[in-house]
Amino acid sequence: MNDLTPAALAAFASRHGAATTSMLRKAGIGKRRLARLVDDQLVIRVSEQVFRLAGTSRTLEQRCVELCLAHPRGFLTGPTGGMLRGLRRLGPASEIHFSAPHGHHVDVVDGVRLRQSTKVFPWHIEQRADGLIVASPARLAFDLSVDLSPIDHASVVEQLVAQHRLTPADLRRIGHELVHPARRGSAQFVAMLEHRIGGGAAESHGEVLIGQGLVVRGVPVVAQYPIVLPGGGRIRFDLAVPSMKWAVEVDGFDTHFQLAGGTNDRRRDRKSHVIGWQVERVSPLDLTDIDGVCDELADLYHRRCHTVAGAPPQRSSEDIRVLAEHPGVLGNLG
């Protein structure tokens, strides 16, 4: 390592173990010294102008930054961009998805899927301090429509809204710029916009599944609806119909089933009842039958509507079946 200056080591460290010829020259590594480092296998040539420090971990970030250094007009997108942002529902990593403008030559290597676009605007990309060039949240929301099923795509868009400063205005803007009958993913992107749940962003995949299932059944839920509890505490319901004071909590995290978490949930529910809210809870086991639990919740919602309106609740199809089999069992229902 004697030929590697402290500045050169710092340059490699700042880019996940990769650096360009220009970066190394500024760090005091001239052409001859660099050639000697390559001959001694202390530095590995990745492409014409990009080098990797030998012995460094071969991480996803390192492979990605090598592409970005070699092709600074391109950017990481699709599942790769989602992984770098910690998004859910992406599946196992298989290839690096790298996008570049049409007409820009990219040396495609094994394990890289090249995606080209005729429209790449400055706000579509973000340059990170570690050398990675990634799709902006809005661009990623559009690009992932090609890679994911409709429900998984809707789920990751909600995560981008909740965690990565993506706004509904950004979604509309990227749609205006990229949606085109001939562009893959356009139809799914438009459908996602049309079916998004109102209110805040759904924070989990389970909330998206239940929310969309209820909307399809005519239940006008909004996501992350805030209320103030007696005593001043402020909470948010995962899903709610404010006009009916009816809410659904999707309990997908382990804390809900621990003693402290479960106790806190029940205390929240009791305080919500005091101010007139009806709260239904959905467990992870319920999420194994989305249609079944959404049917049950929709029935409970419609009963709530009749109760709030002062009319007796309507009997469900299950009520009618049980009544036919066991006359008198449901006689206490209005």
Q: What is the pLDDT of residues 143-193, one digit of tens each?
A: 999 999 999 999 999 999 999 999 999 999 999 999 999 999 999 999 999
Which one, of 76, 49, 72, 60, lies nearest residue 16 by Cα?
A: 60
**Amino acid at the residue 146:** V
53, 1 contact by CB (below 8 A): no
| Two tokens, residue 36 | 């000697």
Helix (H, G, I), strand (E, B) or coil at 69: helix
Q: How far is CA 109 from CA 8, 46, 63, 64, 95, in A?
A: 26, 11, 11, 12, 10
State which H helix or E strand residue 189 sits in: helix 186-195
Q: Cα–Cα distance between 297 and 151 in angstroms, integer?
A: 20
Task: Classify domain 1-57 by CATH number.
Answer: 1.10.10
Q: Calculate the average pLDDT of the chain.
A: 90
Task: Express each pLDDT in 204-261 by its tens digit.
Answer: 999 999 999 999 999 999 999 999 999 888 999 999 999 999 999 999 755 545 556 6
Domain definitions of the chain by residue range: 1-57, 59-187, 205-321
Phi and psi, residue 129, nearest 5°: -65, -25
Model confidence band, residue 328 (pLDDT cutoffs 50, 70, 90)? very low
**Residue 223 forms beta bridges with which residues?**
199, 239
Q: What is the pLDDT of residues 19-65, one digit of tens each?
A: 999 999 999 999 999 999 999 999 999 999 999 999 999 999 999 99
Cβ(120)–Cβ(136) under 8 Å?
no
The CATH class for the domain spanning 205-321 reads alpha beta
CB atoms within 10 A of CB 29: 23
- What's the average model confidence in pLDDT over 291-315? 86
Which pLDDT band, with edges at 50, 70 and 90, does 322 fall under? very low
